Amino acid sequence: FVWIGMSTVIANVQVVKTIELFGLNATLGNILYGTAFLATDILNEKYGKKDAQKAVWMGFSTLIILTIIMQLAIQFTPGENDMAQSAFTTIFGVGARIAIGSLIAYIISQYFDVWLYAKLKNLFSSERTLWIRNNGSTMISQLLDSAIFCLIAFYGLYPTGIWLEIFLTTYIIKFIVAALDTPFLYIARRFKHPEY
């Protein structure tokens, strides 16, 4: 549960940092954000759909609280010797479209991921098919997430070609993270929760 909140907060801070990964320009936040989907898949696998949904709401609540608190913090007049205001504004002063796009994309895609994972678990229930439910739910959910976020945050701000490049790059990075997280789900599935 804790990782969901942490990863969404850290990813939203890292989203302002652009990096080159496999020759693609991307935001650093995309990499960590993908791990939130792994965490809900682990919860769904081990504890069921309801616990995974609770984690989604925890992450969403954390994002809303972070957004509100940091927007309020930016509004305070900085002290005469303050050196942090410009950095604060760069990191947390995201436009309304980006903040709204992030929140809407998160709640819709995460809820969809939890739902789809549970459906795929009914169809592919063996340990050998764990990779199908993990990759199937996450890769489709990340496509939904990328489409919603990019439409709300960037559509109309950039020419269509640039917008499409942002969308594709965002999704490709999330797709790669989803493919690479599969071994971690197999490892997590083997851990036994101690009874108290």
Rounded to 10 degrees, the C-alpha dihedral 109/115/119/122 comes to 130
Identify the domain containing residue 11 by its residue range: 2-190
**Which two three-digit tokens encode residue 84?**
């942090």
30 three-class SS = helix
What confidence score (pLDDT) does residue 195 get? 54
Average pLDDT over residues 137-158: 92
Residue 14 is assigned to a structural domain of this protein = yes
Alpha carbons 159 and 77: distance in angstroms, whole number: 36
What confidence score (pLDDT) does residue 142 get? 95
Q: Which residue has the higher pLDDT, 18 or 52?
A: 52
**Which two three-digit tokens encode residue 146?**
């990328």
pTM, two decimals, is 0.81
Average pLDDT over residues 86-108: 83
Number of structural domains the chain divides into: 1
Alpha carbons 12 and 29: distance in angstroms, whole number: 6
CB half-sphere exposure, 104, CA atoms < 13 A: 14
Which amino acid is residue 2, in one-letter code? V
Residue 62 is assigned to a structural domain of this protein = yes
Q: Which residue has the higher pLDDT, 177 or 17?
A: 177
Residue 68 is assigned to a structural domain of this protein = yes
What confidence score (pLDDT) does residue 196 get? 39
Average pLDDT over residues 4-13: 83
Residue 132 is assigned to a structural domain of this protein = yes
Task: Read off the CATH number of the domain in which 181 is found.
Answer: 1.10.1760
**Where residue 194 falls among pLDDT bands split at 50, 70, 90?**
low
Residue 195 is assigned to a structural domain of this protein = no
Residue 196 is assigned to a structural domain of this protein = no
